[in-house]
Chain A
Amino acid sequence: MVGNMSYGLQKRILIILFLLVPIALLATFALYPAAYLVYLSFMTWDGFSPEKTWAGLANYKEVFESKEVWAAFGHNFVYLGWGLLQNALGLAFALLLNSRLKGRNAYRVMLFMPYIMNGVAVAYMFNYVFNSEYGSFNTLLRGMGLDSLAISWFGSPKAVNHVLGFITLWKFMGLNMVIYLAALQSVPSEIEEAARIDGASRFQAILHVVLPNITKVIELNLFLTIIGTLEIFDLPFILTGGGPLGASDTFLTKTVATAFKFNNFGMASAMSVTLIAAVVVVLSVQRLVTRRWSN
C-alpha cells in the first residue's frame, strides 16, 4: 500500500491531491472571473441575454467621459481625508498604549472592537445616531442649544460623505492602532531609554528615535488606507444608496449599480478593471517607496 511506495512517488501524488481542490477553487472563483472581467470590459452585454457584442474600447471611453463616474470617484477623496485623520489617531493611541499604563489591554480591546462588528449593524446603528429628527447626535446638539447645527446629515449633499467618512474612521481606527502598536512593541525600549538618558524629552525621543524605526509600518498603514478608500462600498450602499441624487455615490457603488441595476455589465466590467488597475498602481508605488527605504 502507501507504505510500499517510494517517497518520490508519494510526494508527486500528494502534491497533486492536496493542491487539486484549492487550485480548482482559485481558478474557478478568482482567476477565471478576473480574466472574464477583462473580456467583458470589451463587450456590450446586459448580463443575461446570450448575445454579447464586441465594443472595443467604447466601455472604457464611457467610463472616463462620464461625469457621474468622476463625481463618484471624487467622493472617495473625502474618505481619504478622514482616512488620513484615522491614521494619525491610530498612531497617537498606539503611542499612548505603548507606555506603561494601567488597563492598557482593556483600552486596546475596546478601541479595536468596532472593527469586528457587523458592518450592516454598524450602518443601521449610525442611521439612528445621525437621524435628523430623533437621532442621538442631533438630540445632543439641541440639548446643548446648538439647534442650528442639527441638520439632516444624510440629506445634505455636502455633509453626507463626511458623515460616512466619520463612521469609517469610527470603525477602522482600531485596526490602524493595533498594527502601529505591534510595530511599536517591536522597537526595543532601550533605544528610547538611551535617548532619554541623553537628555531628550519624551516627545523628542518619540519623534527622532521611535518613529524612524517604524516608517515601514506607517507607510503600510497609509497604503492600506488609500486602497481602503478606493474600495469604499458597504456604508453608502446600505445607508444612503448613493443618495441624495448621487451625492454619496462612490466608485464601487456606481460600479455595482451599473451592473446589477442598469444591467450594463460591459461598462461595469470596465469600471472594475480600472479600479483594479488603480490598486495595482498604488501597490507598485508602495513597493518602490519601500525599496528606497531598505536601500
Chain B
Amino acid sequence: MTTFRGANCGLGAKPVCSVFTDTGSNATEGSGGVEMRYEAPETMKAAVALLASDEHGRVLAGGTDLLVQLRADTIEPSLVVDIKKIDEMCAITRENGGFRIGAAVTGAELGEHEAFKSVWPGVVEALELIGSTQIQGRATMGGNLCNASPAADSVPAMIAAGAIATIEGPDGRRDVPVGEVATGPGRTSLRAGELVASFLFPEQAPRTGDAYLRFIPRTEMDIAVVGAGVCLTLDDSDVCVAAKVSLGAVAARALAPEAAAKALIGTPVDDAALAELSRAASAAAQPIDDKRGTREFRIQVTGVMARRAAETALARAKGA
C-alpha cells in the first residue's frame, strides 16, 4: 500500500522508513516538511490529556482513513495521537456475559476471535468487509465509527447489535449507544479531548441472530452504496420477540428505523413480514444522488438488503 509508506514516514520518522523517503517521490520527508507532532501514549489518561491540549489533534488507530486523508492533503493536523500502545484499547474481554472490544482492535483480530464471532457473526462480517486483507490488519471499529462516514460498514451492524460506546475524556468516562456517536459526514458528538475507548456488546438473549449486508457494484474493495444490519431474537415458537434494523449509506448517518424493526416483531418472520420490512426500510431511507448511486436506486435496494440480511439473521437465530 503506497498509501501507508509516505504517511508513515511523516508520522514516525523511523529509520526503517528512510528507504522509502528516498525512493518515493510522494513521501513526506522528516526535514523541512509539514510540522506535525506524533505521540504514542501508553495510558488512556495521557491520550486524553494530549487530545485536550490541542484542538487540531487527531486520533490514529489503524490509520486506514486518517493516513489517506493526510496523503490527500484534506487534513493537516498539528498532533496525531496513536492509541495502539494503550493496552485496554487493543483488548477483547468478557464482561457480564457480554464482550468488551477495544476501539483499536483490528478487523483481523476480531475475525479470528472464535467466541465473539460465534455470538456476533454479523458484526464480524461487517467489519471484515472493510478493505482488503492488508487493510484488515489495521482497520478498527473505533476508527470506522469516529471517521463518521455515513457508509461505514461496521456501524449499522453495531447499532443492530445494541452495542454501547465507552468514551473517555477530560471529565471522565461515559457510555452512549453507538448510534449517537456519529452525527453526520465527518462529524461526531465527541467533545474536546474525548475519544472512544471501547465497545460493550451486552450479553445476548438466546435464539438471537445478526447479519449485515451491503450493496456494492463490485465484490470487494468498495464502499457501501447501501448497507443493512439486522439483529433479531425468536421465542421457542419461532416468533420474533425483539429486533433491531439499521441502515447505512442512505442518510447523513446510520439510521435505525423503528418501523422496520416493528415489521418483524411479533411475526414468524415470514414472507409477509419480510415484505413489510422491505417496504419500511425503503421508506426510511433518505439517500442522495451521488457518484456511488442514484437516490432512486438506493431506496429500492435498501429494502432488498434489509430483507436479505433479515433472512440470514433468521437462519442464524434458528441455528443458534
**Is A bound to B?**
no
Interface residues of A (CB under 8 A from B): none
